[in-house]
Chains A and B, each alone.
Chain A
Amino acid sequence: MTLPSEQERKERIDRGIKIRSDSIYAMMSHRELSYLTLPRLILIVGMLMIPLVIPSMYWQRVFTISCIYALLAISFDFLAHYVGLVSLGGAFFVGTGGYLAAIANTSLGLPPWLTVPLATLVGGGLCTLLLLPCLPLRGVYFAIVSLMYPLFLARVIEALDILGGTDGIMGIDSFPNHWVEQYFIICILLLILFGARRLVNMDIGLVLRGVKDNDQAIRASGISVTFYKSVAVFIASAMGCLSGACLVHIYMWSGISQFALDFSIIPIAATVIGGGGTLVGPLLGCLILVPISELLRDFGTLRIVFYALILVAFIIFRSEGIMVYGQRKYHQFERWIKY
């Protein structure tokens, strides 16, 4: 790279307002207060408004599905960037939650407002139990094993012809009406989003990030790494099972396709595009990716090609993602200075 004769470099500095609003001085004026609250308010109000603004039932349904993918993406982001467990098995959580909700609804006759929490808690526990033996694994080994779990379960269901076999379980109750369905999912999503933000900043979040950065140090401090990992996996898999349970009640059907790779890949793509480690980024990514893939439905499998290529491009050229970029622009300014 050739530099101009008068050498300059770009400098990145925090905005004054960011520094002021970092501490108690945020209470000083409305400007600082709104600097902090405005982005969050825009998110909350925006999410609550979208179903009212969207005209057609079809696109409202697409938005609901985006929210469900967003739940999965947040769970992936939480595990990958705050605990250091890269789980490629989002479909495992969706499938477990979905089948549990379906069984609870059809066999036990429980209504949706009971099956969803039940599937969330029991499913989270079940997934954690099944993943417990692989928790000590690191990096690529955990990624591969978690990718194989949903495929394995799908093949087992197919081979043994249990739980409805390849036909799946049909005749599941839907939510009372589509407004309840939408606002239930949106509210849950927002609660989980802000809850997760809170969680990673609490003491347990500190330990979890320690597990990610240096697990030997955590172990040396007399803290059980496996215990904290399993707590994190429980939280993440409960989120995944919740989305699976909601999905089953929306489609009124549960089948092996809930273990399909879509549920593992789209949330990851959304996290990469939205910006990993921000927890809001995955939501943004899902709101972009899922409608685009709906728009491209006419092109058949070309849409998978399309979002695979977007994913590759983002991984290579903009690995930070939209949200990290946006946050940087919001909090910092850049200027050229002379050496």
Chain B
Amino acid sequence: MEILIYGTINSVALALYALGFAMVYGVSRLPNFAHGALYVLSGFITWSFLNSLGLNYLISILLAMLATGLIGALIYQFVLIRVRGMEISEIMASYAIGLAILEGLRWGGFKGMTYTLPAFISGSTEIAGIPVDYQRLLVVGIGIAVVGLLWLFTRYTRIGLALRGMAQDERAAMMLGIDSDLMAVTAMGFGSMLAALAAVLLLPLGNIVVESGYNILILAIAVCIVGGLGSWMGAVLAAFLIGFAQILTVVYLGSHFQMVVALAAIILTLIIKPSGLFGRQKELEERV
């Protein structure tokens, strides 16, 4: 029972980490290695709004999400768009930007255990005899809501449909008058906002630390690779797979193995089936 509850919470958290990454990759084929940095950055932005400017918590969260979305869009518009399509330059440029953000934050003094965000609702309850705090329940609730809203968004709004069109066939989308660059910027903006959303939901569970940026990136990549790069619903399913696998290893082997599971999942998936469990097979694009 414990495994079931905490596995679900962990899986939803993983899905939240990964959705932004999956969205950006799906639309513009950009492996956004700055994803973890944006996640940490939005945590610090929220903290600054809350404590330095003294704004309301809800307002500072919304502002931080908007700011992170804007930062992501600007990064794409001014840097990454120039290396579009050159896969390795994309990886290196986005990774370097992420590195600059994270190490810049560390240099700016944002380190140590002093930075925490308050929980939305404090206190805890018991489900079947297992204590669970409200924040974690909220994570599950909002996480499921976000996945649902995203599903509706990509099917019933113009922008969502355009993004999906880009993800499926860029050239055909361009022929239908969809501005491919604009959509890529939009996707990066939304992806960064999703990272920020994940940050404000999950950071109250612990401290804001710079190092977590690297782990978030690895977890997001693990989920996306196992689910199939570019497949959003695959990412959600893979999040549950990896989430439960992680909780099981923590229970039976020890907490050291949590990241090993994620990394092993990436390596094994890429070796056995590079397009992931739920991705469409593109044999010739990915292997000889």
Contact = CB atoms under 8 A, between A and B. Distances in A.
Contact of B92 (A145, A299, A311): A311
B100 A136 contact: no
B1 interface: no
A129 to B, nearest CB: 13
A149 B270 CA distance: 12
A259 B176 CA distance: 48
> Chain B contact residues: over half helix, strand or loop, or mixed?
helix
A309 B218 CA distance: 22
Interface string A130-148: 0001101111110111001
A144 B83 contact: no
Contacts of A61: none
Contacts of B260: 152, 155-156, 159
Contacts of A265: 95, 99
Contacts of A148: 218, 221, 263, 266-267
Nearest to B78: A316
Contacts of A225: 288
A300 B103 CA distance: 9
A315 B288 contact: no
B288 A219 contact: yes
Nearest to A151: B263
B207 to A, nearest CB: 18
B144 interface: no
A172 to B, nearest CB: 26
A155 B97 contact: no
A268 interface: yes
A262 B257 CA distance: 23
Interface in B81-128: 82-83, 87-89, 91-93, 95-97, 99-100, 103-104, 106-107
B143 interface: no
A279 to B, nearest CB: 18
B134 to A, nearest CB: 32
Contact of B263 (A143, A155, A215): A155
Contacts of A32: none
Nearest to A271: B92
Contacts of A137: 270-271, 274, 286-287
B169 interface: no
A301 B105 CA distance: 9
A316 B89 CA distance: 9
A316 B79 contact: yes
Interface in A285-306: 299-302, 304-305
A272 interface: yes
A305 B267 contact: no
Interface in B171-226: 218, 221, 225
**Interface residue tally of chain A, by bracket?**
35 or more
B83 A316 contact: yes
A302 B108 CA distance: 9
A37 B104 CA distance: 45
B287 A308 contact: no
B288 A88 contact: no
A269 B259 CA distance: 27
A91 to B, nearest CB: 13
A80 B92 CA distance: 13
Interface in A205-255: 215-216, 219, 225-226
B215 to A, nearest CB: 10
> Chain A contact residues: over half helix, strand or loop, or mixed?
helix
Contacts of A226: 288
A181 interface: no
B264 interface: yes
A56 to B, nearest CB: 27
B105 to A, nearest CB: 9
A216 B288 CA distance: 8
Contacts of B274: 137, 141
Nearest to B284: A216
Contacts of A319: 83, 89
A215 B221 contact: no
Contacts of B99: 265, 304-305, 308
B267 A149 contact: yes
A173 interface: no
B254 interface: yes
Contacts of A151: 218, 259, 263
B248 to A, nearest CB: 15
Residue of B87, B91, B92, B274 ringed by the most chain A CB atoms within 10 A:
B92
A308 B96 contact: yes
A265 B107 CA distance: 19
Given A268-B92, A302-B107, A305-B100, 4 more contacts: A133-B271, A144-B266, A145-B266, A155-B259
Interface of B: 31, 79, 82-83, 87-89, 91-93, 95-97, 99-100, 103-104, 106-107, 218, 221, 225, 254, 256-257, 259-260, 263-264, 266-267, 270-271, 274, 285-288
8 contacts: A148-B221, A152-B264, A219-B288, A268-B92, A301-B107, A304-B100, A308-B96, A312-B93
Interface of A: 80, 86, 88, 133-134, 136-141, 143-145, 148-149, 151-152, 155-156, 158-159, 215-216, 219, 225-226, 265, 268-269, 272, 299-302, 304-305, 308-309, 311-312, 315-316, 319
Q: Which 10 residue pairs are nearest across A and B when measured between Cβ atoms?
A: A159-B256, A308-B100, A152-B263, A136-B287, A304-B103, A308-B96, A301-B103, A308-B99, A133-B271, A311-B96
